[in-house]
Amino acid sequence: MATDLPKNAADATRTIDPGQEKQTLKFLFTPRDALAGELEKPNPHAKASTQQSDVIEALQERFGEQMLGLVEYAGEQTVYLDRAVIADACRFLKAEQGYGYLSDMGSVDRFTEADRFEVFYSLVNIERKKRLRLKVRVDEEDPVVPTITGIHRAATWHEREVWDMMGVRFEGHPDLRRMFLPEDFEYHPARKEFPTLGIPGSLPLPPNETDGSLQLDPFPRAHGDLPED
């Protein structure tokens, strides 16, 4: 799992350097192998709050092999962890390092064969003015991450949102309903294979006339169900 991740901070900055990686023309875009701004300069928007090597060392010491890697870009450090220890890591960071505030959480679809989904957590230490990002990766076949609602209650809605949008389930979540979409919906729209225009018939809408029937597809023309006139 995640063998391509660097193990220490020195390697961390290198993997991201765009000059190192030759881009192939997979999409219809103008390939570019340097940053738009000046690459030699440090990022003008980098913050002191995202640099915390001591905490990352403590995590490394505590979790050893289960800390899978460290990536750095724009002065932000991201710690990759094995999903089995994510709850332990949050508990450790909250109890011993003062990261008691969960400010953000979300998910990424990498659209790869292995480790397809990523769930990230942004933890904040208000006293020391620090912000740390943790990440776990899960496979498409088994998209389950242990919940952290027992440690940060603020994760309750965020985990529901990730389940709704990306279809990653959280084991042990007290009330894992969908966040935005109705339970009757069967898809997870933030996944890459979900079409931007939606799936016809998946979300019926109220009728246009008083005694009309439900509209199964609000965009029939865009979906090719109505001929263009």
**Which of positions 120-179 make contact with other proteins (CB under 8 A)?**
120, 122, 124, 126, 129, 131, 133, 152-157, 161, 165, 175, 177-179
Q: How far apart are CA 8 and CA 17, in angstroms?
A: 15
104 binds other proteins (CB under 8 A): yes
Tell me phi and psi for residue 56, to 5 degrees. -65, -35
Q: How far apart are CA 137 and CA 144, in angstroms?
A: 10
180 binds other proteins (CB under 8 A): yes
114 binds other proteins (CB under 8 A): no
Return all residues near 163 (Cβ < 8 A) that are at least 6 apart. Answer: 169, 170, 173, 176, 178, 179
Q: Which is nearer to other proteins, 83 or 152 (CB)?
A: 152
Enumerate the β-bridge partners of residue 80. Answer: 69, 135
Q: Which is nearer to other proteins, 72 or 86 (CB)?
A: 72
Q: Which is nearer to other proteins, 7 or 153 (CB)?
A: 153
3 state DSSP class of 131: strand
Residue ranges in 11-30 that form contacts with other proteins under rule CB under 8 A = 15-18, 21, 23, 27, 29-30
96 binds other proteins (CB under 8 A): no
Q: Smallest gap, in angstroms, from Cβ of residue 114 to other proteins?
A: 17
Q: Is 129 in contact with 146 (CB distance < 8 Å)?
A: no
Residue ranges in 29-68 that form contacts with other proteins under rule CB under 8 A = 29-32, 34-39, 41, 43-50
Could you tell me the two tokens for 145?
């991450």
